[in-house]
Chains A and B, each alone.
Chain A
């Protein structure tokens, strides 16, 4: 098959294409198990294989995909034909940033392949967790396990050949209950990534037992709590909500295709302009953010992106100043040409596709915030006069240019004069992105830093779901409106 693919790439290039690549997925497997109130509602497995072909012709892309490997000629011809049509409407002829041709491989680190674990053992884990969560106050118990395994072989007309073998494990616990007004509340646990691996060995039963008991306890506190007040306070965001704040208002805002207007018809744009790089004060000096695809144990690390560019660790925001973006080969060339200066020094290796039948687009890797010097969570609370500690993503809604946002959280703890005083329910906060990050007044130290995963980031048309990560410390922001 390798030789056939390379021969097809050579053929379309000799037919006039200036570039072509192919991603062949010999196998992609997933396994989803959901136990809901003791019922194994979903026990499913899936397997797929196929190929996606991307052809660049006269400055335009054509893409085609199929699960049928018996007609590679037809598949490559269709991609070239699609590119020929696209070439009839070109405003900036696509060109690709330089890269080295590589012959390489990447395997995500794991000790135990979750697909080797018997179903009985997996179901046994779900059952044990379900029983743990079956406590007074809990009306709904949801335990989930998702496993993914994919093999990707990448070839391009510049001579790169890359094989990737990636395994991911995504577990979660959730509980819901009803308060005296008949309103539902929820508390969830998705474990932070610990250690250096990503396999079945990351399912730590002791940790899940402890955290399961915690979310039940906290749910019951929320059920009896007063509503969140509507006022301005300092908000102290734990990693369980700060990861999403970062995801939505730093990560998506700094995807270069959004900045250049390629998502304006759907997902939206960005308030960031090309003139902002190196100049814009995105946040206070306490804010340093980076796109780090070299974190070993995160789904945001994949060795090489789907342009064949190696994973990298790049600054996005340096002590509050915007310095970088999430980029692929196409967009950096267009950005530099549009700005008439070299803003970006090559691709940052962040062009990824969710499946063989989708085209690569700029996606987050691990969008992390560096730990700060403001101590532990306890230190930050002690140094807060009037605040609220927030955790758990319940609802999120962001303006189309990522300029403003509204989040609801699962739980809030009011802070008065340096001490937690009470739990509140229906906690929300909202703000304008730049004003909010410039009000960043404390960043926790390494003891507060956690690597959270995202297994369902949506973007693009046709839509793509991507897996990635966020390494996040506790952060405090001042004068934020809560409770609306």
Chain B
């Protein structure tokens, strides 16, 4: 079985977000880039499967749409345990554009399961996996919180509004994963880090793709007013305020 994981690089989730150029662009000066947390969990699960199933998982490939500057993120994925990587050499402008690039790069290749994160910690499109699946005319299952392979069959749990379904899925398909797929992202081992540079990283030219959306301006949330504080002794007053002033309870 061959597994592909789509990865993007996003600002570290602890980063304070700032904008420049009249709030038209993200201020990248103090940003540390990381693998999108959802994608990192997807990759972690793929590696876990390979560790437990051995040769039944023939290969783990990661693919990224990004400029050369995103290669450290790709190398991190290789250090964690991916076998090889593909980078589509394009600036990831918006979801449809990225999904189109991915689909073009993937369609001539052969994968059984394509993993994508449910959301991304940058522009929160929650969209690339589903768009790519449609462009590949491949089935997709969303919000997967567990993925197992037994005797060549793929079993998944997916969260739906109001519950969890246990499903058997036929391959090939696009698995759009969320938290729970793996507990914590894998920390790369020292040997993995040193071997990352020796693993193949194929750079492919981008296809001609349209952009359907454009972020024209950003804004930060309005700062909150001062917090009105109460003590253990006057909890009743708080309840009174919530009831009478704020009318919330």
A, B in one complex: no
Residues of A within 8 A of B (CB): none
